Chains A and B, each alone.
Chain A
Amino acid sequence: MIKRRLFKLLALLFAFALIAAACGDSSGSDDNAGGDSTTTTTEASSGGGDESTTTTAAPPETTETTAGEAMSSGGTLIWAHEQEPPDLHLSDPNNNLTITAWILQPLLEDLYGVDSTTSYYPELLAEEGVLTTNDDGSVTVDFKLRDGLMWSDGVPFTSEDVKFTYDTIMETDGEDEDGNPNYILSVSDRTGLDTITDFTVKSDTEFSVTWSDFFAGWKGVFGNILPAHALPGGAAEAEEALRDWTNAAGDILPSTGPMVFDSWEKGVSLKMVRNENYHGSHSPDAVNTGLAYVDGVTINFVPDTDAQINALKAGEADMIMTQPQLQFGERLSSDNQFTVASTAGPVFEHWGLNLLNVHLADPLVREALAYSLDKSEVMAGLYTPLFGDLLPAEGLGNTYWMSNQPAYVDHQTEWAGAQVDAAKTKLEEAGYTMGDDGFYTHPERGKLTLRVGTTGGNALRELQQQIIQEQMKKAGIEIVIDNVPGGAYFGEKPFSDEALAASASGGAEGDPTIWDITQFAWVGGPWPGGQSGAYKSDSGFAPYGFVNAEFDARSDECDATVDDATRADCYNELDTYVTTLQHGDDGLFMLPLTQKPSYYAYNSERLVSAGVAPDANLGGPLSNVYDFQFAG
């Protein structure tokens, strides 16, 4: 009987297996069909056109440095990293991730690169663009490309590629119901491209671009130049090709950077190989201005940061670059086998205050907050043990310029340090009295309690909030942490329709009570004028309730200032509108806190040289990939 039952069970299982097989992927035995495991194998091909060539790894060569240390050309650099992009379509708003930018950095170059001081330098250009202001107020810039530029597949890089990139981004298939252009390519930011009135190709290496009026960020407009010859289908083809870096013909997109995309097994690794047609970098940071030393780069996706350190120590990775954490210092700094380095990154945290809040509308209260906030303690609690004096120990004091940029000025020194008594004085001056519970209260406004919110689940931010909460408690200010789980915070709170309407109307419309204090991160850059959008009353995207016509006008003037140094000063002046009370009682609603450091480590026994300043410009550790070199 038992045998019969067992037989029946086996028969049933077999039947299930047959059904399961029948219901399986109709693509047959191809495990990688169009899905998760899109291993795009190219045999190191840098194809992209008819003239696709096969790149073979250069035979290792051993050279001697002046110090007599053996160095070699060759080897694959393995970078273990926690984040994997959904695809490589960086400009798609649904991607737009740091890791995507980091991966693209060695693949596609820009007209202007960004160096370790977060300043522009001509990369694909032979020289700086020549800017001319026309009689009608429009501005024309004449560009000249470097001679002999070539795509990785051997096709010459010309002005037509730059124009193609512009045309592709701006290509539409009509208009929507509201008359807005229906763009084909997903792009999160067309600022600066949408005011171009003319693009003239003069020769293979020369072209001119005319803007309707001066755009201060013009140097950053032409990034990630696309290969015209590899994308004959224009924007529609690019929209798909940029996701898995393969065009409609099945060819890998060619590169202008030091590396060429090779393959990507999602969830496992992404591989690049050396671009044998690379023209060499113009970056002032570059030590090697020729081909990359390493044969290629493999990015292994290791989600756990502890495991990244283990992978490095186990020899399964040559380099890691991850969130700042104590394990770096504890487990790597003390080991001579590894070099641990860090840079002041471009991402900075800040608190933004809602000027429509009944308490925060009073400048004395905002000053009290600034006095009670001890940024140096925040720095000490989060970063100083790891980074020493790399970052400003007193915290960040500017929302336009970062501490590693030449134009940086700390505008909040007046409130630096824990000035609890000064904070209390300000509150009492504003009519607050200390309550029995240790918090101030106002006869009309009630208890001084303020909610601070951000996207929940970010441990570093939550720790910052807790540190500041304790600091302000000492000054009699109650801070209630009011984060929203998941990614819904911004849409539900400061950037909700109701809150934005309240901000733009000074509280006459919408709902000004949705949020009090918001904490989030912005990214600094060589052109920080984009920050003004969060402050300008007519931007439609300013959440703070700051309506200041003088600021709006000055902001326009700054953006229209052609001279770089004058414009940099102008942005500093703009910052004083929002971080100080110099220009009126509606200032000091921004409290910049900390600049997030970038932290990386590499195996210095295996690598005798590594790229410098890996992420000062948000370019990531492969910014200077040509400088990585293995020991012989």
Chain B
Amino acid sequence: MFAYAARRLMATIPLLILASFLIFWTVNEIGDPRDKLAACATCDQSAYDRLVDLYELDKPVVIRWGSWLGNIAFHGDMGTALSQGEDPVKPIVITRTKNTAMIAIPAFLTIVILAVALSVYSAIRQYSLSDYTITALSFAGIALPTFVLGLFLQVLWGIWIQDWLGIKPFYVTGKHTASFGDLVSSIVLPVITLSAVFIGAESRFGRSAMLEIINADYIRTARAKGLPERRVIFKHALRNALIPFITIWALDFAALLGGSVITESIFSWPGLGPIFLTAITGQDIHLIMGIVLVVSMMAIGFNLIADLLYGVFDPRIRYD
């Protein structure tokens, strides 16, 4: 397993390098940071020169990319973020990733627990009222645009039900850190919004997987052997149904940690999503590259973890 993981990690390095060049080149093609000075009639040459120095705009794109990559590889320096007052990119990305993780991790746990629970419950009670209800709610979760759900939750808890017996249950905007309770109160609504779509989709997916498995011969055999139903479902059926979930969860977790522009913007959450948008609109190459690099690494990392987890849940899988 260690050798396999090491091989996979080594294989990701050229992938990341290639991806970083393609993104760097694309961002470079989209626009020139000097363009925003175009309508500044009073700007002197020094304003342009500063941008040239900052981004090495007088050099070919390959050289600039090589310089950026070299600074990361040898100095851990991701450059400066022009759209953030020329602050260094690295602490910005770290802080923003932490903020995003504050809502992404609870959202992910919510997704995993509820998607599995609803899948199992819905599958073992196929065509019951509860199955239909869960199905309807799942489709609602899938169909409801994130911004609609987010704004609805804001109106529901922020305006219609502003407090519970004098206690404000949830903040509708911002990250409040005065106390742990405040923090929890801040993250509840973004977490619900983030997880709703995923729960809806994955409960449908899980229900299908469970139905296929509980009708399989080996489950019938297990039941015929007189195993308790709970053991049949949770040890034999669910464990097998979880295998396809692993791939999806890996992708979900990477996507959640990559930041959600809409959810984080609606709830004014200072995560990766809004700042990525700012970086794009501000043609802030270093910040765009920093965020993309971190998100790419997370995507690759979680896919690797997913591959390793297959072996845990399915002993037939070998890493050779």
Contacts and interface: CB of A to CB of B under 8 A. Distances in A.
A pairs with B: yes
Interface of A: 1-2, 5-6, 8-9, 12-13, 16, 23-27, 31-38, 80, 85-89, 93-96, 176, 178, 180, 182-183, 186, 188-191, 243-244, 265-269, 300-304, 306-308, 310-311, 313-317, 457, 485-492, 495-496, 520, 530, 533-534, 539, 541
Contacts of A16: 301
Contact of A12 (B5, B87, B175): B5
Given A25-B91, A268-B175, A488 B31 contact: yes
A310 B312 contact: no
B173 A188 contact: no
A311 B173 contact: yes
Contact of B308 (A9, A186, A190): A9
B265 A186 contact: no
A188 B270 CA distance: 30
B267 interface: yes
Given A300-B174, A310-B154, A34 B45 contact: no
A560 to B, nearest CB: 19
Nearest 7 A/B pairs, CB to CB: A35-B91, A87-B85, A267-B270, A314-B158, A491-B38, A491-B35, A36-B92
B220 interface: no
B315 A1 contact: yes
A267 B1 contact: no
B40 A520 contact: no
B85 A487 contact: no
Contacts of B283: 486-487
Interface residues of B, number: 70
Given A35-B91, A311-B172, A491-B32, A189 B42 contact: yes
A486 B82 contact: no
Given A304-B265, A316-B172, A31 B42 contact: no
A1 B311 CA distance: 10
Given A86-B82, A267-B270, A31 B98 contact: yes
B86 A87 contact: yes
B172 A314 contact: yes
B96 interface: yes
A36 B35 contact: no
A520 B83 CA distance: 22
Contacts of B86: 86-87, 243
Nearest to B6: A12
A176 B85 contact: no
Interface in B12-58: 30-32, 34-47, 49-51
A182 B44 CA distance: 10
Contacts of B106: none
A527 B71 CA distance: 47
Given A36-B92, A188-B47, A486-B35, 19 more contacts: A2-B312, A5-B1, A5-B312, A9-B309, A34-B88, A35-B88, A35-B91, A93-B40, A95-B85, A266-B87, A302-B173, A306-B266, A307-B151, A310-B155, A486-B30, A491-B32, A491-B36, A496-B38, A520-B39
A157 to B, nearest CB: 27
B312 A12 contact: no
B154 A307 contact: yes
B318 to A, nearest CB: 11
B198 interface: no
10 contacts: A35-B94, A178-B45, A243-B85, A266-B270, A267-B96, A300-B173, A303-B274, A304-B268, A314-B159, A530-B41
B45 A176 contact: yes
A317 B99 CA distance: 22
A93 B43 CA distance: 7
User: Which DSSP category, helix, strand, loop or mixed, fits chain B's interface?
Assistant: helix
Nearest to B92: A36
Interface string B40-82: 1111111101110000000000000000000000001000011
B92 to A, nearest CB: 4
A253 to B, nearest CB: 15
Given A186-B47, A316-B174, A491-B38, A32 B265 contact: no
Given A314-B162, A491-B32, A176 B49 contact: yes
B35 A533 contact: no
B117 interface: no
A87 to B, nearest CB: 3
B2 A8 contact: yes
Contact of A188 (B43, B81, B83, B172): B43
B94 A25 contact: yes
B253 interface: no
B35 A490 contact: yes
B215 interface: no
B126 interface: no
B179 interface: no
Interface string B155-175: 100110010000000011111
Nearest to B5: A12
Contacts of B46: 176, 180, 182-183, 186
Contacts of B38: 490-491, 495-496
A534 B41 contact: yes
A13, A190, A310 — which one has the most chain B CB atoms within 10 A of its CB? Answer: A310
A80, A86, A265, A301 — which one has the most chain B CB atoms within 10 A of its CB? Answer: A86
B90 A35 contact: yes
A190 B44 contact: yes
A487 B158 contact: no
A90 B151 CA distance: 33
Contacts of A24: 94
B208 interface: no
B41 A541 contact: yes
A35 B274 CA distance: 16
B95 interface: yes
A36 B309 contact: no
Given A93-B47, A186-B50, A310 B92 contact: no
Interface in B298-320: 301, 305, 308-309, 311-312, 315
B32 A313 contact: no
Contacts of A533: 41-42
A507 to B, nearest CB: 21
B84 interface: yes
B320 to A, nearest CB: 14
Nearest to B99: A267
Given A25-B94, A316-B158, A488-B32, A34 B39 contact: no
A180, A243, A268 — which one has the most chain B CB atoms within 10 A of its CB? Answer: A268
B87 A34 contact: yes
Given A37-B95, A183-B44, A490-B38, A314 B312 contact: no
B145 to A, nearest CB: 13
Nearest to A16: B301
Contacts of B171: 316
B1, B39, B95, B275 — which one has the most chain A CB atoms within 10 A of its CB? Answer: B39
A486 B313 CA distance: 48
B146 to A, nearest CB: 12
Given A8-B2, A37-B95, A316-B173, A487 B281 contact: yes
Contacts of B311: 5, 9
A491 B34 contact: yes
B283 to A, nearest CB: 7
A86 B83 contact: yes
A120 to B, nearest CB: 20
Contacts of B96: 36, 267
B268 A300 contact: yes
Contacts of B39: 490, 495, 520
B267 A93 contact: no
Given A307-B154, A490-B38, A490-B39, A35 B47 contact: no
Nearest to B268: A302
A180 B44 contact: yes
Contacts of A34: 87-88, 91
Contacts of A27: 91
A188 B31 contact: no
Given A35-B87, A191-B42, A495-B39, A307 B82 contact: no
A243 B83 CA distance: 12
